[in-house]
Amino acid sequence: MSGTEVAHAGGTRVAQPPSPPGPRRPGHRDLRTLKVMWQREMIRFLGNRLQIGMGLLTPLMFLLILGTGLNEVGAGGGSYQGFLFPGVLMMALQAPAIAVGAAIVWDRQTGFLRQMLVAPVRRGTLLLGICLGGATTGAAYAAMVLATAGIVGIPYRAGMLLVLLELALISFAFTAMGVLAAVCITRPQTFQIAVSLAMMPMLFLSGAMFPASGLPGWLGTAVLLNPLTYGVDAVRRTLPGDGVVDYGGRAAGPELWGWAPPVALEVGLIAVLALLAVAVAGRRFTRAA
């Protein structure tokens, strides 16, 4: 009973002295850990407005310069800006989400990671809090780009909320993969090179720049094996309006032996990928210090 409470003794209300706080339950401690790690990423995100502006610059340049240029030359026979828009959203959330992994590598270098690991909390909870913070950061970047949809003729409707949920899930998957790379690679320079080598091919082979169906040889196989292909297609098919599901007379999304996977299956694939990355990263996280 706390000091602000009273008890009845013989009909008289008697104030009770404060009792010492008992040990917090593991569930409460885990929630507090998640909140602290999430807040840490939010403080890092909101405290650098210049970084926010620079993070939006590259995707908007692709949309407004490359998209407008190829739109004018009639690439694919449709609205290339509308076709490119889901890829620009991926571009916006990809870099900040993976940057969270870079922060872990630097935390290891400075010794801060070791201090976190000796705290009396579950290490998997630490990892999940970091991933939630990175996912929120990436989704915030994507939301700011999503707000420009009207520029390319995509109407603002309630379906935008579903797109935002998909982007948050994809951002979580990216963050989990970045964290997995961070717990496996110890040197910051090596991490930067490895992540840069992985990011660009994933984006180019995702159907963000050209239709994912009907590609010849190894290129078609690589696009179909790339999980980001299904994230881009899910966002493209969920965007309000006519969208650019068919581009240049052919299906813009992936097709497996003439069968187009439904959006729910594509979203489920991204969710499984995210959970798998978190599970593997969690197993290796104890060695990260």
Q: List, for residues 254-272, the tens digit of each pLDDT value.
A: 888 888 899 999 999 999 9
Exposure class string for 138-151: b at 16+ Cβ within 10 A, else e:
bbbbbbebbebbee
- At residue 154, the 3 state secondary structure works out as coil
Which backbone phi and psi does 8 adopt, to 5 degrees? -100, 125
For residue range 82-125, list pLDDT tens digits in order: 888 999 999 998 888 778 888 888 888 887 777 777 777 787 88
| Nearest alpha-carbon partner for 78 in 251, 255, 249, 234 | 249
The answer to whether the beta carbons of residues 288 and 114 sit under 8 Å apart is no
Which residue pairs from 245-249 have beta carbons closer than 8 angstroms and sit at least 24 positions apart in sequence? 247/76, 247/77, 247/78, 247/83, 247/211, 248/76, 248/77, 248/78, 248/211, 249/77
Run means of pLDDT, 10 residues per run, the chain, 289 residues:
43 46 65 87 86 87 87 70 90 84 83 76 83 91 93 87 94 90 84 83 88 85 92 92 71 83 94 91 71
CA atoms of 278 and 144, how far apart (whole Å): 26
The answer to whether the beta carbons of residues 143 and 164 sit under 8 Å apart is yes
- At residue 248, the 3 state secondary structure works out as coil
CA atoms of 282 and 180, how far apart (whole Å): 8
The answer to whether the beta carbons of residues 172 and 136 sit under 8 Å apart is no
CA atoms of 76 and 31, how far apart (whole Å): 50
Residue 263: the pLDDT is 93
